[in-house]
Amino acid sequence: MAKIHGLKWVVCLASSILINIFFVLNIDLRRSPELTWSREAAVEAEAVAAVSCSGHGRAFLDGSTMEGIPACECNSCYGGPHCSEFSPDGCPLDVDLGDPLFLEPFWMQHSKSSAVVVAGWHRMSYSDGIGSSILFSKELTNHIFQLHALVGNAITKGRFILFGVGSSQLLHAAVHALSQQGSSHPACVVATAPFYPLYEFQTELFDSEDFKFQGDTTLWKNTSSANSSTNIIEFVTSPNNPDGRLTKPVLQGPSVKTIHDHAYYWPHFTAIQGPADEDLMLFTLSKVTGHGGSRFGWALIKDKDLYQRMLMYLSLNTIGVSQDTQLRALKILKVVLKGGGEIFEFGYNTMKARWERLNEILSASRRFSIQKLEPQYCNYFQNVTGPSPAYAWLKCEREEDLDCHAVLKAASIIGRKGNLFRAESRYVRLSLIKYEDDFDLLLHRIKVLVSKEEGSKNM
């Protein structure tokens, strides 16, 4: 009896010791290596990420706090402490900005691999310490080159690369540098309407003696000949902002220089035709990964002299680009590359579905039309892909709807006025790349507008 009793004890003790061993191993397995200085920041970030905003908002680490806890920042027309209150009536919907928020869900799904810890002492210097007064990360450069190789949208071999505070900064760095290279002054800066308003606004802002904005290329097509001595700088945006069309330069000749803005030349938005191989190409992180807030772009440049002039501009304008941003961009691109293009599947599927839903609703309208885009063979997906543009270039067809922006505004849709793109004011650009909530509300409001049409096709 005592023996059996003793056996029970042995079993209990053995079990308990086994549990001890389990704990010891478990700690080693799960904790190894133990975190020290980064733990506090990690705990803090996870606490903020855990704030519930009902899927219609999010709390940020640097958001305004309510009782010590960062408050939810809600999507348009959502409110309340947890963004659970939807009040669509009359609430203005901003679809003006090209804010690439459609990719946020992708990054939430990949939060584990895409987070980055910035140490308090991370890259306090703005110099590379070996002669340049600004520091461009070599690792980031390598990853950008790998990204272009993966997508097949640009030749990087034999190119210089420059980083900018968004491609916005690079646009003007390019105008500045190209205008210095010409023999005649001022250089004429042109683009083909409808074109991205920043080209004009920036050029006029700087009000330089070296360049003047001169409007649409069509005015120059006939007057400028190959022998013209007027120094011309043409912006070519492909795919075009606002209408998503793939474009080519309109002007040619020895005195014409071209800035190729390829912000949207990614599989999310267009079929990839093949690697772009131009002398000066601009890209932005904003439209590849969705990190518009990070303000990071890059230029691929063939000519060394042009590269050096642009570098000088960037050095004097802002002494380079934030090291915090360069670190984060590197992490983000590592995820993109490791995923082997998963983000492009996600982006393309999202944008294509949005385009189809919008088209379906507008197919019933006689009052509103949007640009027609054809499916094309995409070298990246190795398939014919449907249109999936970043913007709808909407036209008010009724004769009396001269101010299309006002027509939409009356329905609480805030688009971007067509005349800002040097087009008629019966055009409006609608951003399709914002949150799903924004897009859903946009569709809803357009649907209401269409349903009110007399003689609309679905009535």
Which residues inside 200-229 make contact with its own copies, applying CB under 8 A?
A: 201-202, 205-210
* Shorter beta-carbon distance to its own copies: residue 39 or 398: 39
Separation between Cα atoms, residue 80 and residue 54, nearest integer Å: 10
Closer by beta carbon to its own copies, 325 or else 385: 325
Instruction: Encode burial over 79-117: b for 16+ CB neighbours within 10 A, e otherwise.
Output: beebbbebeeeeeebebbebbbbbbeebbeebeeebeee
Write down the least CB distance from residue 267 to its own copies, Å.
Answer: 19
And the tokens for 167? 């491609």
CB 151 within 8 A of CB 343: no
CA-CA distance, 61 to 302, in Å (whole number)? 41
28 binds its own copies (CB under 8 A): no
Nearest-angstrom CA–CA distance, 233 and 219: 14
Examine residue 61 and tell whether it contacts its own copies (CB under 8 A).
Answer: yes
- Min dist. Cβ of residue 421 to its own copies (A): 16
Q: Is 137 in the site for its own copies (CB under 8 A)?
A: yes
Q: Which DSSP string corresponds to 45-99?
A: HHHHHT---TTSEEE-TTSPEETTEEPEEEPTTEESTTS-EE--TT--EE--S--
Q: Please report whether residue 66 would count as binding its own copies according to CB under 8 A.
A: no
Q: Give the C-alpha separation, 162 to 167, whole Å.
A: 10
CB nearer its own copies, residue 50 or residue 226: 50
DSSP for residue 102: G
Residue 129: DSSP 8-state? S
Q: Which residues fall within 8 angstroms of residue 427, CB to CB, at 6 or more apart?
A: 194, 393, 394, 395, 396, 404, 418, 421
Q: Which lies closer to its own copies via its Cβ, residue 276 or residue 329? A: 329
Query: Can residue 342 be called a binding residue for its own copies (CB under 8 A)?
Result: no
Does 343 sit near its own copies (CB under 8 A)?
Answer: no
Given a contact cutoff of 8 angstroms between Cβ atoms, the answer to whether 441 and 77 are in contact is yes
The angle subtended at Cα 441 by Cα 438 and Cα 444, nearest 5°, is: 150
Of residues 344 and 368, the one with the C-beta less far from its own copies: 344
Q: Which of 52, 85, 87, 111 binds its own copies (CB under 8 A)?
A: 111
Contact mark string toward its own copies, 253..282, x via CB under 8 A: ------------------------------
Q: Is 20 a binder of its own copies (CB under 8 A)?
A: yes
Task: Candidates 4, 9, 68, 400: give the one binding its own copies (CB under 8 A).
Answer: 9
Task: Based on the shown chain and the rule CB under 8 A, indicate whether residue 73 belongs to the binding site for its own copies.
Answer: yes
Stretch that binds its own copies, among 122-130, 237-245, 340-348, 379-387 (CB under 8 A): 122-130
Least distance (Å) between residue 440 CB and its own copies = 16
Total number of residues that touch its own copies (CB under 8 A): 115
Interacting residues with its own copies between 162 and 201 (CB under 8 A): 165-166, 168-169, 172, 176, 198, 201
Under the binding rule (CB under 8 A), the answer on residue 29 touching its own copies is no
Beta carbon of residue 47, minimum distance to its own copies (angstroms, whole number)? 7
Compute the least distance from the CB of residue 209 to its own copies, in Å.
5
Least distance (Å) between residue 323 CB and its own copies = 4
Q: Min. distance of Cβ 369 from its own copies in angstroms?
A: 28
CB atoms within 10 A of CB 127: 12
Query: From the CB of 429, what's the least distance to its own copies, in Å?
Result: 14
The nearest distance, CB 408 to its own copies, in angstroms, is 17
Binding to its own copies (CB under 8 A) within 88-107 occurs at: 94, 97, 99-101, 103-104, 107
- How far is residue 291's CA from residue 273's CA, in Å, rounded to a whole number? 25
CB of 76 to its own copies, least distance (A): 7
Does residue 319 bind its own copies (CB under 8 A)? yes
350 vs 266: CA distance, rounded Å:
14
d(CA 51, CA 56): 12
Residue 436 exposed, middle or buried by CB count within 10 Å (0-12, 13-18, 19+): middle
